[in-house]
Amino acid sequence: MAKFVHSMIRVLDEARSVDFYGRAFNLKVADRLDFENFTLIYLSNHENTFELELTVNKGQDGPYALGNGYGHSAFVVDDVDAEHARFEEAGFSPRKLVDFEHDGRKLARFFFVQDPDGYQIEVIQKQGRYR
């Protein structure tokens, strides 16, 4: 059996990213490991054991090229409409809310938001397969 424990993204500004993920998704620093050439910051919350690992490469002075291979990460929330309004109020510039259907029934209600480094994040209403 394998357990998925974290996903890593490279970020330019530790403080800006920790602030964004804290305010947007209530992720807090669970651990911070400083090395000579890079720093690893593990973020988590009480909702699950999965962590987001932020890697800050020392000496990186410009944005990372995300390329065309990155898709997105996703968070489920109890009230996607309220979260969309909260994100707007916080200045996170969420994209529009979408009702996504499959075979004539609503599969999901969601919106996307971009983090400070350009990573796309889907925020999904908790329902059906998205729990």
The answer to whether 122 is a known catalytic residue is yes
80: left (phi over 0), alpha (psi -120 to 50) or beta: alpha
Q: What are the backbone dihedrals phi and psi of residue 15, each rounded to the nearest 5 degrees, phi first?
A: -60, -45
What are 44's strand-pairing partners?
28
Give the strands of the sheet with 73-77, arranged side by side: 73-77, 120-125, 105-114, 98-102
How far, in Å, are 52, 67, 115, 120, 127 from residue 14 at the CA level? 13, 21, 12, 18, 33
Q: Which one of 14, 36, 89, 122 is the catalytic residue?
A: 122
* CA–CA separation, 129 and 131 (whole Å): 6
Residues with catalytic annotation?
A: 122
